[in-house]
Structure 1
Amino acid sequence: MARKKIIKDDGSSLSRTTPHNKKIKIHNKSDVPDNIVEKQNDMIKKCLSIEAQLPDFLFDYFLYLKNSVALSTRLAYLSDLLFYCNYLINESPLMAEYEFKTPKDIPLELFSKITARDVNLFIGDFCTRYIVETENADYIMENHNRALARKKSSISVLFKFLYRDQLIESNITEGFNPIKLPKPQPDAIKRLEIEEVAMMLDTVENGTGLTDKEKQYWEKTKYRDKAILVLFTTYGLRVSEVQQLNLSSINYARGEFKIYRKRSKEANMPLNKSALAVIEDYIKLERPPCIEDGDPLFLSLQGRRMTVRTLRELVKKYTAIAMQAPRHAGYSPHKLRATAASSLIQYGFSIYDVQNLLDHDNVTTTQLYSAHKKDAKRDVVNNYELLDEYHKKDSNSKKN
């Protein structure tokens, strides 16, 4: 068998879409901003594109995903399924008696022959390291346990559904090998210290540590960049939540702004003085004219909504300077989310309040940041001097 080579097909070529020269207009009667609706529509088109490439007997499974999981999860599961089907065609020995060449042609008969061992080989052997071929280059892809667990989950959901709907005779998922995930360690959480946050904000205010070329852009974006960093470190927002903010998201009368969480959950976040001040400075002093539909809050110099990638690069640059590290070693926006969680708990806020602010599903996630207080180990050890305690008890016993 050829060694672990597969052609990537992520559904990027969209089917069931309007012609490229036809503009999509949104007829929106809900409170959800048009940019959120448009993003969801793009994800739905990707889902439909992938479904069009998969076997027709999976139609009920597509319907199940559509109505039972979040849109992002649906897209992830479908992408993994298409990847698995391409693997069956290109790599699996089960293909010996078949001649079809596309995932669309795979019959239910083949799925009924798949065993737990076949899936274990796919997850444990093939997925750990394979090659993705593109027109420009071949990429070696390596997956560790967290990524393997995601692929295993996608395959498990599929085969459980096929068994439930009596399309296959046995529940092979019971024979899938377990994947051990490392427990999160509080000491390993990457975050900025309070002093580093101060240095980061000093950099965005004064340009300290920026190169001459970076300062040229900084002169035009410093108010915007400061507002973005303050929102990340105050509220622990996800990068998509910042990227999707609009001018209309801010309710000045109520002193709050609305964000859209994962799974399309709405949340109103109170504006404190710091956040309100940096947003107003940006809007009044620096925000360029918008040249696209809608009212995005954070704009590029070209007047378009900032992309997630641009936000990541912005955060990486400023955090690298704060940590006095090379640019490539800067942190992602998610590390500023960790910074916000740890800082809030360090300042004495309740774990449950922080959980609510950051939208953690489980309080145990928030507790990881609670355990990661600055110098926590040092404080414990310094406040418990074993020999001092021993001498006190020894002295008391002699007196008695």
Structure 2
Amino acid sequence: MDDISTGILFALLACLIVISAYFSGSETGLMSLNRYRLKHLSNTGHKGAKRVEKLLERPDRLISLILIGNNLVNILASAIATILGMRLYGDMGVAIATGALTLVVLVFAEVTPKTIAALYPEKISYISSIILNILMKVMSPIVIFMNFITNGFIMLLGIKPQQSGDDSLNSDELRTVVNEAGGLIPRRHQDMLLSILDLEHVTVNDIMVPRNEITGININDEWKSIVRQLTHSPHGRLVLYRDQIDEVVGILRLRDASRQMLEKNELTKETLLRSADEVYFIPEGTPLNVQLLKFQRNKERIGLIVDEYGDIVGLITLEDILEEIVGEFTTSMSPSLAEEITPQGDGSFLIEGSANIRDINKSLKWKLPTDGPRTLNGLILEHLEEIPENKISIKIAKHPMEILELEENRIKLVKVYPSKLKKIS
């Protein structure tokens, strides 16, 4: 290189630093891409996304190509810098060239391009993929040979190089993706998506209508009483039973009963029993996502939940599961959470004992235990291990609670403080 002028060497060195910056930025940009967005753009026909996706099919070859190019450029730049240093400063020029080139490479060929690529991975990747595709074809023999050596060494370490990373997401990772969507997905839609993901963690017992609240008709009652229940019931379906709920005989659709009453005028106990649908039983502890599919597969909308002994413990409908996803329907006859929780001026809340613990946690962002009883009344009774006779104060999960009203064997109204309040005032 003695015949090459110093000016040309400086220009060549500058070009090599630019090329080094290109390889560094390309590597960071390609590895920083959102793989799911890339897949979506590729499916929609985006040319740049298709090029990048093809390159990423073999990440080992892509990395080899980039590193081969980057190292060749950096080594050549180092040689040129050494020659320039010796021309300008003699023997001391080697040390000066080494320090100066290190600083220049770090700033202009590593940190700066990689930072820009990390901030704008798509723009960098789609443009650089054009050149990388050409280089991949030209340098294919060298890349394959290099991969053969490196893969052999990797196999000696007990690692299979052909194994690619699993890009699939589990439910917790999907939940994080939804939460991080920000303004891209409306908050209401995010809540619905998260509710769908939570279905597998919620069982039919968590949202069922408990046994003592099931609305039904005792077929052995007087006929006038049965007719009164039929005409005044707010529900579309009623449980028919004999004397006690465990002796259920069917599920009656009020629409069918009303049609027989109006059109045929032949409604009797016998016709009620004949028009009732067969009872659909559900094992307790069934996850909601499973039960939703079973309702769809069996074309059912309502079911009775039974325990291991075959006793009925509650009732659940398709609408109950849908409400877990989209929120309460305006046509729901059960009290809403807003009616069961009343905020107070001191930061506390008056909560009905029958309020569902999961609903309380979701509404107030609390963490009351949900692995036991499903209602606040049940949670307090489990904590006390007895039915209180007087109004007392307790603390559960760092939440001070004051029992305000008792009714027979249950707690009717409780004053609950957020966990950050240290004492009851």
Q: TM-score range by the shorter chain?
A: under 0.3
Q: TM-score, normalised by structure 1?
A: 0.23
Q: TM-score, normalised by structure 2?
A: 0.22
Q: Computing the radius of gyration over CA atoms, which structure comes out larger, 1 or 2?
A: 2
**Per chain length, whose mean CA-contact separation is higher, i.e. which structure has more relative contact order (CA < 8 Å, sep 6+)?**
1
Structure with the bigger percentage of strand: 2
